[in-house]
Amino acid sequence: MTDVLIVIDMLNDFVTGKIAAERAGQIISPLDRLTAAARENGVPVIYANDAHRPEDFELDVWGEHAMQGTEGAAVIPELEPDEGDHVFEKRTYDAFYGTALDEHLRSLGVDRVVLTGLHTNMCIRHASAGAFFRGYDIVVPGDCVEAFSEEAHTEGLEYLADVYNAEITTTDDLIEEWRKTASAEAVSDEGTAS
């Protein structure tokens, strides 16, 4: 199983800006731990960020937000991408739609996507659809996604599990899984080198 960690819309406008979700702050620490663990264990980290243009239809729903090239469209300082991470700009809820994300994942041999960020019932949901329709297995650490309300978050997780067969897990469990996988691969590599 080859994983990739995708961080969706952890942007200034969504965390503290124009359409901030008050609950977003509670996922920063677990998401910081998860991105660090991914990098430590050889799991690629990808950011899928809104980068809207004035003609984007989504602006009719939410108003102007995360406009391409603005501070509002920047990843929050606590979770800024590291060198080697990839960043994909998106113009709608689905991280796959109109981007080269699928091609990039296929070039990495990915078969399982770990989706994190904002919002459980919107961009995470639509990215899950995009992943599902392209044949990827989906994992969502419930403590690394959030929504505008507890109800929207809970309903979002239930929908992901029921409709897209997403595995709902925790940051701790996923980190442990990655560590075990990396350790097993290291042992296997040592045996091959002998």
Over range 13-41, report the average pLDDT: 98
Q: What is the pLDDT of residues 178-192, one digit of tens each?
A: 999 988 887 766 666
pLDDT at 192: 63
Looking at domain 3-193, its CATH architecture is 3-Layer(aba) Sandwich (3.40)
**The pTM is what?**
0.95
Output 63 or 27, whichever has higher pLDDT: 27
pLDDT cut 90: percent of the chain above it: 92
Q: What are phi and psi of 138, to 5 degrees?
A: -125, 135
* CB 49, CB 62: distance < 8 Å: no
Q: Is 69 left (phi over 0), alpha (psi -120 to 50) or beta?
A: left
Burial of 54: CB neighbours in 10 Å, binned 0-12, 13-18, 19+: exposed
- State the DSSP string of 85-99: -EEEEESSS-SSTTS
* Phi, psi (rounded to 5 degrees) for 96: -90, -30
Counting residues of the chain whose pLDDT is more than 70, the rounded percentage is: 96
Supply the DSSP symbol for 72: G
pLDDT in tens, 120-176: 999 999 999 999 999 999 999 999 999 999 999 999 999 999 999 999 999 999 999
Q: How confident is the model at residue 194 (pLDDT cuts 50, 70, 90)?
A: low
- What b/e string do you get for 162-188 counting C-beta neighbours within 10 Å, with b at 16 or more? eebebbebebeebbebbeebeeeeeee
Task: Sketch the domain layout of the chain as residue ranges.
Answer: 3-193
Q: Flag whether pLDDT at 110 surpasses 80.
A: yes
pLDDT of the residue at 187: 78
